[in-house]
Amino acid sequence: MATNTARQQKKNVKREEGNRPNLHLVQPNTSAQIRFAQAYNKVREKHYHKEIARRRRLIACVGAFLFIFFSYNLFSSAAKLYSASSQLNQVNQQLAKTKAEHKQLKENLKQLKQSDYLTQYLRDKYQYSKSGEVIFNFTNSNSKK
């Protein structure tokens, strides 16, 4: 049993030595290197954070540019659509007027093909008369002077 306890003690000592840093093995210039490395690591960490900040600013700028670009395209397209829509409405109104005029002209043409209407129209508008017929023009006597 004594041998077992001695072995266990050696194992415990080795375990403790593995967990603790060996201070007596550190060379004198090693502490200076560690301090220099810590300072260098701080500089590297500062540089790393600056790079991250720079990347974030760059991503934000690119995002803002893309947002502005697509917003401009959206609004210009909406303006063009509104303009085309208003122009379409104007053309549709003009088409409706033209169709109404066409219908009226078609009716006039149909009436002009009838001889009775044609003679009456020529007499009223152009004051045509039959041979030996006299036309009298009367003015409206209700007009104020």
Res. 14: pLDDT tops 70: no
CA 52 to the chain's CA centroid: 30
pLDDT in tens, 30-51: 777 777 788 888 888 999 999 9
Strand locations in the chain (E): none
* Pairwise CA distance, residues 7 & 11, whole Å: 6
Which residue in this structure is represented by tokens 């036309």? 135
* Pairwise CA distance, residues 44 & 38, whole Å: 10
Asked whether the whole model's pTM tops 0.85, one would answer: no
